[in-house]
Amino acid sequence: MRKITNIKVPQPEKSEDEKNLFSLVLDEHGIILSIDKTCKRESSYDEDWHGDWLSPRAIDLQMNGGLGISFTDLNFNKIPKLLTLLDQLWLDGVEGICPTFVSCSLDQFQLGMEVLKETKKYTSTNRCRLLGAHMEGPFLCETYSGAHDTGSICRPSISALNERIKGFEDDIALMTLAPELKGSLDVISRLRELNIVVSLGHSSADFDSAIKAFNNGVSMITHTFNAMKGLHHRAIGPIGAAARRDDIFLGLIGDGVHVHSDMIRLLKILAPKQIVLVSDAISAYGLGDGSFNWDKRLITVENGLCRLPNETIAGSTLPLLDACKKIANWINDPSAAIWMATLAPRMVLSQNKMTAKSFFIGKNIKSLLRWKMNSCNHQLSWQLAA
Protein backbone atom coordinates (compact mmCIF):
# COMPACT_ATOMS: atom_id res chain seq x y z
CA MET A 1 0.00 0.00 0.00
CA ARG A 2 1.08 3.54 -0.71
CA LYS A 3 -0.46 6.63 0.83
CA ILE A 4 -0.05 10.19 -0.41
CA THR A 5 -1.31 13.17 1.56
CA ASN A 6 -1.87 16.89 1.04
CA ILE A 7 -3.04 16.58 -2.54
CA LYS A 8 -5.36 19.09 -4.13
CA VAL A 9 -8.02 18.02 -6.61
CA PRO A 10 -8.83 20.73 -9.18
CA GLN A 11 -11.86 22.81 -8.24
CA PRO A 12 -13.76 25.36 -10.35
CA GLU A 13 -13.75 27.93 -7.54
CA LYS A 14 -10.77 29.14 -5.54
CA SER A 15 -12.60 29.01 -2.20
CA GLU A 16 -13.12 25.26 -2.60
CA ASP A 17 -9.53 24.68 -3.68
CA GLU A 18 -7.98 26.47 -0.73
CA LYS A 19 -9.84 24.56 1.96
CA ASN A 20 -9.73 21.02 0.54
CA LEU A 21 -6.75 18.67 0.80
CA PHE A 22 -7.02 14.98 -0.01
CA SER A 23 -5.20 11.73 0.69
CA LEU A 24 -4.84 8.81 -1.70
CA VAL A 25 -4.49 5.13 -0.95
CA LEU A 26 -2.95 3.08 -3.76
CA ASP A 27 -2.38 -0.64 -4.13
CA GLU A 28 0.99 -2.20 -4.98
CA HIS A 29 0.39 -1.57 -8.70
CA GLY A 30 -0.35 2.14 -8.29
CA ILE A 31 -4.12 1.80 -8.66
CA ILE A 32 -6.04 4.40 -6.64
CA LEU A 33 -8.27 2.63 -4.12
CA SER A 34 -9.64 5.68 -2.30
CA ILE A 35 -9.50 9.45 -2.23
CA ASP A 36 -10.60 11.16 0.96
CA LYS A 37 -10.20 14.42 2.82
CA THR A 38 -6.82 14.66 4.56
CA CYS A 39 -6.94 14.29 8.33
CA LYS A 40 -4.96 16.67 10.50
CA ARG A 41 -2.93 13.81 11.94
CA GLU A 42 -1.18 11.77 9.27
CA SER A 43 1.47 9.11 9.89
CA SER A 44 5.10 10.12 9.44
CA TYR A 45 5.71 7.70 6.57
CA ASP A 46 3.06 9.22 4.25
CA GLU A 47 4.26 10.82 1.02
CA ASP A 48 3.48 14.55 1.16
CA TRP A 49 2.63 16.48 -2.02
CA HIS A 50 2.50 19.83 -0.17
CA GLY A 51 -0.62 21.02 -1.98
CA ASP A 52 0.24 20.02 -5.56
CA TRP A 53 -2.74 19.17 -7.74
CA LEU A 54 -3.59 15.74 -9.11
CA SER A 55 -5.64 15.54 -12.29
CA PRO A 56 -6.48 13.20 -15.12
CA ARG A 57 -5.00 14.05 -18.50
CA ALA A 58 -6.91 16.52 -20.62
CA ILE A 59 -9.95 15.72 -22.75
CA ASP A 60 -10.38 17.86 -25.87
CA LEU A 61 -13.99 18.12 -27.02
CA GLN A 62 -13.13 20.09 -30.16
CA MET A 63 -10.12 19.06 -32.22
CA ASN A 64 -10.26 19.16 -36.01
CA GLY A 65 -6.95 17.46 -36.81
CA GLY A 66 -3.18 17.79 -36.61
CA LEU A 67 0.16 16.92 -38.21
CA GLY A 68 -1.27 17.76 -41.61
CA ILE A 69 -4.51 15.76 -41.48
CA SER A 70 -8.10 16.92 -41.00
CA PHE A 71 -10.86 14.68 -39.72
CA THR A 72 -13.11 15.96 -42.50
CA ASP A 73 -10.60 14.76 -45.09
CA LEU A 74 -9.68 11.30 -43.82
CA ASN A 75 -9.06 8.16 -45.83
CA PHE A 76 -7.69 4.78 -44.82
CA ASN A 77 -4.18 5.66 -46.05
CA LYS A 78 -3.98 8.33 -43.36
CA ILE A 79 -4.38 5.94 -40.42
CA PRO A 80 -0.60 5.73 -39.74
CA LYS A 81 -0.36 9.53 -39.57
CA LEU A 82 -3.47 9.64 -37.37
CA LEU A 83 -1.86 7.19 -34.96
CA THR A 84 1.25 9.39 -34.88
CA LEU A 85 -0.98 12.34 -33.99
CA LEU A 86 -2.60 10.38 -31.17
CA ASP A 87 0.83 9.44 -29.83
CA GLN A 88 1.86 13.12 -29.92
CA LEU A 89 -1.30 14.17 -28.10
CA TRP A 90 -0.54 11.69 -25.31
CA LEU A 91 2.87 13.32 -24.89
CA ASP A 92 1.07 16.69 -24.82
CA GLY A 93 -0.97 15.50 -21.83
CA VAL A 94 -4.21 14.65 -23.65
CA GLU A 95 -6.00 11.39 -22.83
CA GLY A 96 -8.83 11.60 -25.36
CA ILE A 97 -10.29 13.77 -28.11
CA CYS A 98 -13.66 14.15 -29.74
CA PRO A 99 -12.55 14.21 -33.40
CA THR A 100 -14.39 17.16 -34.84
CA PHE A 101 -16.01 17.28 -38.26
CA VAL A 102 -16.71 20.78 -39.53
CA SER A 103 -19.46 21.15 -42.12
CA CYS A 104 -18.65 18.82 -45.00
CA SER A 105 -20.31 16.55 -47.54
CA LEU A 106 -22.19 13.44 -46.52
CA ASP A 107 -19.58 11.23 -48.22
CA GLN A 108 -16.68 12.99 -46.46
CA PHE A 109 -18.32 12.58 -43.07
CA GLN A 110 -19.20 8.92 -43.47
CA LEU A 111 -15.78 7.98 -44.86
CA GLY A 112 -14.13 9.83 -41.98
CA MET A 113 -16.28 7.99 -39.45
CA GLU A 114 -15.36 4.65 -41.03
CA VAL A 115 -11.66 5.55 -40.81
CA LEU A 116 -12.02 6.51 -37.16
CA LYS A 117 -13.79 3.24 -36.41
CA GLU A 118 -10.90 1.32 -37.99
CA THR A 119 -8.31 3.45 -36.18
CA LYS A 120 -9.90 2.66 -32.81
CA LYS A 121 -8.74 -0.95 -33.28
CA TYR A 122 -5.21 0.33 -32.58
CA THR A 123 -6.05 1.77 -29.16
CA SER A 124 -3.18 1.14 -26.75
CA THR A 125 -1.61 2.30 -23.51
CA ASN A 126 0.24 5.61 -23.80
CA ARG A 127 -1.81 6.70 -26.82
CA CYS A 128 -4.55 9.32 -26.86
CA ARG A 129 -7.99 7.76 -27.34
CA LEU A 130 -10.52 8.59 -30.01
CA LEU A 131 -13.79 9.34 -28.20
CA GLY A 132 -17.15 9.93 -29.81
CA ALA A 133 -17.05 12.38 -32.70
CA HIS A 134 -18.07 16.03 -32.50
CA MET A 135 -20.24 17.07 -35.44
CA GLU A 136 -19.72 20.82 -35.77
CA GLY A 137 -22.40 21.30 -38.42
CA PRO A 138 -23.88 21.11 -40.93
CA PHE A 139 -27.02 22.62 -39.28
CA LEU A 140 -25.52 26.08 -38.79
CA CYS A 141 -26.49 29.68 -39.41
CA GLU A 142 -24.79 30.91 -42.59
CA THR A 143 -24.47 34.44 -41.19
CA TYR A 144 -22.25 33.04 -38.43
CA SER A 145 -20.52 30.36 -40.52
CA GLY A 146 -17.02 31.57 -39.62
CA ALA A 147 -14.45 29.38 -41.39
CA HIS A 148 -17.02 26.75 -42.38
CA ASP A 149 -17.70 26.07 -46.05
CA THR A 150 -21.14 27.63 -46.59
CA GLY A 151 -21.78 25.21 -49.44
CA SER A 152 -21.77 22.36 -46.92
CA ILE A 153 -24.22 24.01 -44.50
CA CYS A 154 -27.83 22.83 -44.72
CA ARG A 155 -31.16 23.25 -42.99
CA PRO A 156 -31.83 21.01 -39.98
CA SER A 157 -34.32 18.17 -40.34
CA ILE A 158 -34.75 14.67 -38.98
CA SER A 159 -34.33 13.20 -42.45
CA ALA A 160 -31.06 15.08 -43.04
CA LEU A 161 -29.78 14.01 -39.61
CA ASN A 162 -30.71 10.36 -40.07
CA GLU A 163 -29.17 10.24 -43.54
CA ARG A 164 -25.88 11.59 -42.19
CA ILE A 165 -25.47 9.59 -38.98
CA LYS A 166 -27.09 6.29 -39.99
CA GLY A 167 -24.88 3.49 -38.72
CA PHE A 168 -22.82 5.84 -36.54
CA GLU A 169 -25.38 6.74 -33.89
CA ASP A 170 -23.24 5.21 -31.12
CA ASP A 171 -20.03 6.81 -32.41
CA ILE A 172 -21.07 10.46 -31.95
CA ALA A 173 -20.66 12.26 -28.62
CA LEU A 174 -21.49 15.86 -29.45
CA MET A 175 -23.20 17.97 -32.11
CA THR A 176 -23.01 21.73 -32.61
CA LEU A 177 -25.99 23.36 -34.29
CA ALA A 178 -27.89 26.65 -34.53
CA PRO A 179 -31.00 26.04 -32.40
CA GLU A 180 -32.90 29.06 -33.71
CA LEU A 181 -33.25 27.52 -37.19
CA LYS A 182 -36.55 25.96 -38.20
CA GLY A 183 -36.37 22.22 -37.63
CA SER A 184 -33.65 22.39 -34.98
CA LEU A 185 -35.86 21.51 -32.02
CA ASP A 186 -36.85 18.22 -33.68
CA VAL A 187 -33.19 17.46 -34.33
CA ILE A 188 -32.27 18.31 -30.73
CA SER A 189 -34.98 15.96 -29.45
CA ARG A 190 -33.67 13.13 -31.64
CA LEU A 191 -30.08 13.74 -30.56
CA ARG A 192 -31.06 13.63 -26.91
CA GLU A 193 -32.86 10.31 -27.52
CA LEU A 194 -29.50 9.05 -28.81
CA ASN A 195 -27.72 10.43 -25.70
CA ILE A 196 -25.70 12.85 -27.85
CA VAL A 197 -24.72 16.15 -26.20
CA VAL A 198 -26.10 19.16 -28.10
CA SER A 199 -24.22 22.45 -28.22
CA LEU A 200 -25.21 25.90 -29.48
CA GLY A 201 -22.75 27.32 -32.00
CA HIS A 202 -22.37 29.19 -35.29
CA SER A 203 -25.72 30.64 -34.34
CA SER A 204 -27.72 33.87 -34.50
CA ALA A 205 -29.64 32.91 -31.34
CA ASP A 206 -30.64 35.77 -29.08
CA PHE A 207 -31.39 35.52 -25.36
CA ASP A 208 -34.93 34.18 -25.76
CA SER A 209 -34.11 31.57 -28.41
CA ALA A 210 -31.09 30.45 -26.38
CA ILE A 211 -33.22 29.99 -23.27
CA LYS A 212 -35.70 27.98 -25.35
CA ALA A 213 -32.86 25.82 -26.66
CA PHE A 214 -31.50 25.20 -23.17
CA ASN A 215 -34.97 24.23 -21.96
CA ASN A 216 -35.21 21.74 -24.83
CA GLY A 217 -31.96 19.88 -24.31
CA VAL A 218 -29.03 22.03 -25.45
CA SER A 219 -26.42 21.81 -22.68
CA MET A 220 -23.34 23.57 -24.04
CA ILE A 221 -22.07 26.49 -26.11
CA THR A 222 -19.37 25.86 -28.72
CA HIS A 223 -16.31 28.18 -28.65
CA THR A 224 -18.07 30.81 -26.56
CA PHE A 225 -18.05 34.35 -28.03
CA ASN A 226 -16.93 33.12 -31.45
CA ALA A 227 -19.51 32.82 -34.27
CA MET A 228 -22.44 34.05 -32.15
CA LYS A 229 -23.95 37.18 -30.62
CA GLY A 230 -21.75 38.58 -27.85
CA LEU A 231 -22.53 40.19 -24.53
CA HIS A 232 -24.18 43.60 -24.87
CA HIS A 233 -25.62 45.71 -22.08
CA ARG A 234 -29.05 45.71 -23.74
CA ALA A 235 -28.88 42.31 -25.40
CA ILE A 236 -26.94 39.73 -23.43
CA GLY A 237 -27.48 37.00 -26.01
CA PRO A 238 -26.81 33.27 -25.62
CA ILE A 239 -23.78 33.74 -23.36
CA GLY A 240 -25.77 35.82 -20.89
CA ALA A 241 -28.57 33.26 -21.08
CA ALA A 242 -26.16 30.45 -20.25
CA ALA A 243 -24.62 32.39 -17.36
CA ARG A 244 -28.05 32.61 -15.71
CA ARG A 245 -28.00 28.87 -15.09
CA ASP A 246 -25.41 26.40 -13.85
CA ASP A 247 -26.20 23.47 -16.17
CA ILE A 248 -24.86 24.90 -19.44
CA PHE A 249 -21.19 24.35 -20.21
CA LEU A 250 -19.22 27.01 -22.05
CA GLY A 251 -16.60 25.72 -24.48
CA LEU A 252 -13.73 28.19 -24.64
CA ILE A 253 -10.67 28.51 -26.88
CA GLY A 254 -8.04 29.70 -24.43
CA ASP A 255 -5.36 31.19 -26.68
CA GLY A 256 -6.13 34.80 -25.72
CA VAL A 257 -6.87 35.75 -29.34
CA HIS A 258 -10.19 34.04 -30.03
CA VAL A 259 -11.28 35.61 -26.74
CA HIS A 260 -9.35 38.40 -25.03
CA SER A 261 -7.75 37.41 -21.74
CA ASP A 262 -9.73 40.06 -19.82
CA MET A 263 -12.97 38.71 -21.27
CA ILE A 264 -11.93 35.24 -20.12
CA ARG A 265 -11.44 36.69 -16.65
CA LEU A 266 -14.91 38.22 -16.81
CA LEU A 267 -16.45 34.97 -18.02
CA LYS A 268 -14.87 33.18 -15.08
CA ILE A 269 -16.64 35.62 -12.75
CA LEU A 270 -19.98 35.20 -14.54
CA ALA A 271 -19.91 31.42 -14.87
CA PRO A 272 -17.21 29.96 -12.59
CA LYS A 273 -18.35 26.33 -12.82
CA GLN A 274 -19.23 26.17 -16.50
CA ILE A 275 -16.08 26.79 -18.57
CA VAL A 276 -14.58 23.94 -20.60
CA LEU A 277 -11.30 24.49 -22.43
CA VAL A 278 -11.05 23.27 -26.02
CA SER A 279 -8.17 23.62 -28.45
CA ASP A 280 -10.11 23.98 -31.72
CA ALA A 281 -6.84 22.69 -33.21
CA ILE A 282 -6.75 22.14 -36.96
CA SER A 283 -4.51 20.14 -39.30
CA ALA A 284 -1.56 22.49 -38.75
CA TYR A 285 -1.31 21.40 -35.09
CA GLY A 286 2.24 20.24 -34.43
CA LEU A 287 3.67 21.74 -37.65
CA GLY A 288 4.76 25.16 -36.39
CA ASP A 289 4.15 28.47 -38.14
CA GLY A 290 3.81 28.76 -41.91
CA SER A 291 1.30 28.39 -44.75
CA PHE A 292 -0.62 25.14 -45.21
CA ASN A 293 -3.40 23.69 -47.29
CA TRP A 294 -6.57 23.24 -45.24
CA ASP A 295 -9.99 22.19 -46.49
CA LYS A 296 -8.90 23.01 -50.08
CA ARG A 297 -7.97 26.50 -48.88
CA LEU A 298 -4.70 28.12 -47.86
CA ILE A 299 -4.27 28.87 -44.21
CA THR A 300 -1.55 30.87 -42.51
CA VAL A 301 -0.35 30.04 -39.00
CA GLU A 302 1.45 32.70 -36.97
CA ASN A 303 2.21 32.27 -33.27
CA GLY A 304 -0.24 29.38 -33.17
CA LEU A 305 -3.18 31.35 -34.60
CA CYS A 306 -4.68 30.19 -37.91
CA ARG A 307 -6.24 32.56 -40.44
CA LEU A 308 -7.77 32.25 -43.89
CA PRO A 309 -6.69 34.69 -46.65
CA ASN A 310 -9.64 36.96 -45.74
CA GLU A 311 -8.29 37.15 -42.15
CA THR A 312 -11.08 34.96 -40.72
CA ILE A 313 -9.79 33.07 -37.67
CA ALA A 314 -9.83 29.35 -38.42
CA GLY A 315 -8.86 27.50 -35.28
CA SER A 316 -5.60 27.25 -33.40
CA THR A 317 -2.52 25.09 -33.01
CA LEU A 318 -1.93 25.84 -29.32
CA PRO A 319 -1.76 22.61 -27.25
CA LEU A 320 -4.64 22.41 -24.81
CA LEU A 321 -2.49 22.26 -21.67
CA ASP A 322 -0.44 25.24 -22.86
CA ALA A 323 -3.72 27.17 -22.99
CA CYS A 324 -4.49 25.87 -19.51
CA LYS A 325 -1.25 27.35 -18.18
CA LYS A 326 -2.00 30.71 -19.84
CA ILE A 327 -5.47 30.85 -18.33
CA ALA A 328 -4.11 30.02 -14.88
CA ASN A 329 -2.26 33.34 -14.99
CA TRP A 330 -5.05 35.36 -16.56
CA ILE A 331 -7.67 34.35 -13.98
CA ASN A 332 -5.20 33.95 -11.10
CA ASP A 333 -6.65 30.54 -10.30
CA PRO A 334 -4.52 27.56 -11.38
CA SER A 335 -6.89 25.03 -9.85
CA ALA A 336 -9.82 26.30 -11.91
CA ALA A 337 -7.72 26.32 -15.08
CA ILE A 338 -6.74 22.68 -14.53
CA TRP A 339 -10.38 21.83 -13.85
CA MET A 340 -11.46 23.45 -17.13
CA ALA A 341 -9.10 21.26 -19.18
CA THR A 342 -9.33 17.96 -17.35
CA LEU A 343 -12.46 17.49 -15.24
CA ALA A 344 -15.00 19.83 -16.88
CA PRO A 345 -14.91 18.03 -20.27
CA ARG A 346 -15.50 14.75 -18.47
CA MET A 347 -18.53 16.32 -16.83
CA VAL A 348 -19.83 17.24 -20.28
CA LEU A 349 -19.42 13.73 -21.66
CA SER A 350 -20.88 12.08 -18.55
CA GLN A 351 -23.69 14.66 -18.76
CA ASN A 352 -23.08 15.64 -15.14
CA LYS A 353 -23.77 12.13 -13.88
CA MET A 354 -20.36 11.69 -12.23
CA THR A 355 -18.51 13.53 -9.47
CA ALA A 356 -14.94 14.77 -9.74
CA LYS A 357 -13.68 12.12 -7.30
CA SER A 358 -15.12 9.33 -9.41
CA PHE A 359 -12.66 10.12 -12.21
CA PHE A 360 -9.76 9.02 -9.98
CA ILE A 361 -10.92 5.79 -8.34
CA GLY A 362 -9.54 2.74 -10.14
CA LYS A 363 -7.04 4.73 -12.20
CA ASN A 364 -3.32 4.03 -12.18
CA ILE A 365 -1.52 7.07 -10.85
CA LYS A 366 1.03 6.66 -13.68
CA SER A 367 -1.65 7.77 -16.13
CA LEU A 368 -2.43 10.97 -14.20
CA LEU A 369 -0.78 14.39 -13.99
CA ARG A 370 0.81 16.29 -11.12
CA TRP A 371 0.64 20.08 -11.28
CA LYS A 372 2.89 22.57 -9.48
CA MET A 373 2.86 26.33 -9.16
CA ASN A 374 6.37 27.78 -9.19
CA SER A 375 6.60 30.17 -6.25
CA CYS A 376 9.30 32.25 -7.95
CA ASN A 377 7.85 32.95 -11.39
CA HIS A 378 4.23 31.97 -10.60
CA GLN A 379 4.11 29.67 -13.63
CA LEU A 380 1.98 26.52 -13.63
CA SER A 381 3.58 23.32 -14.88
CA TRP A 382 2.66 19.64 -15.14
CA GLN A 383 4.51 16.35 -15.05
CA LEU A 384 3.57 12.69 -14.82
CA ALA A 385 2.12 11.92 -11.40
CA ALA A 386 4.42 8.94 -10.82
The active-site residue out of 73, 280, 295, 333 is: 280
Tell me the backbone φ, ψ of residue 261, rounded to 5 degrees: -60, -35
- Quick one: 30 and 142 in the same domain? no
Instruction: Tell whether 47 and 63 lie within a shared domain.
Output: no
- Please give the residue range of the domain that contains residue 41: 2-55+356-384
Is 333 considered catalytic here? no
One domain, residues 223 and 167: yes
End-to-end CA distance of the chain: 15
Strand ranges of the sheet holding 32-37, from the earlier edge strand across to the other edge: 32-37, 22-26, 2-7, 47-48
Q: Are residues 118 and 228 both part of a single domain?
A: yes
Q: Which is nearest to 319 in space by CA: 289, 293, 285? A: 285
139 and 153 share a domain? yes
User: Binding site for Zn(2+): which residues?
Assistant: 136, 202, 223
For residue 58, which of 273, 254, 351 has the smallest C-alpha distance? 254
User: Which tens digits make up the pLDDT trace of 24-66?
Assistant: 999 999 999 999 887 655 565 578 999 999 999 999 999 999 9
Q: Which residues are annotated as a binding site?
A: 136, 147, 202, 223, 226-227, 234, 258, 313-315
Statement to judge: residues 125 and 16 lie in one domain: no
Average pLDDT over residues 278-307: 85
Spatial separation of the C-alpha atoms in residues 143 and 153, rounded to whole Å: 11
Query: Residue 186 belongs to a domain with what CATH number?
Result: 3.20.20.140
CB atoms within 10 A of CB 193: 10
pLDDT band at 139 (very low <50, low <70, confident <90, very high): very high
The angle subtended at Cα 326 by Cα 321 and Cα 332, nearest 5°, is: 120
Q: Which residues contact 84 (CB under 8 A, 6 or more apart)?
A: 67
What's the whole-model pTM score? Answer: 0.95
Is 304 a residue whose pLDDT tops 80?
A: no
Residue 191 CA: distances (Å) to CA of 27, 58, 152:
41, 25, 20
Instruction: State the pLDDT at residue 133.
Output: 98
Return d(Cα 224, Cα 154) in angstroms, integer: 22
CATH, residue 16: 2.30.40
- Do 345 and 379 lie in one domain? The reply is no
| pLDDT, tens digit, 9 for 90 and up, residues 19-31 | 789 999 999 999 9
188 and 278 together in one domain: yes
The per-residue b/e assignment along 300-339, b for 16 or more CB within 10 angstroms, e otherwise, is bbeebbbbbeeeebbbbbbbbbebbbbbbebbebbbbbbb
Q: How many structural domains compose the chain?
A: 2
Annotated binding site for substrate: which residue ranges? Answer: 147, 226-227, 234, 258, 313-315
Q: Does residue 31 sit in the same domain as residue 174?
A: no
**One domain for residues 221 and 275:** yes
Distance between CA 386 and CA 384 in Å, rounded?
6
Q: Are residues 17 and 86 both part of a single domain?
A: no
Same domain, 9 and 126: no
- For the chain, the C-alpha Rg in angstroms (whole number) is 21
Confidence tier at 141 by pLDDT (50, 70, 90):
very high
- Residues 232, 225: Cα–Cα separation, whole Å: 12
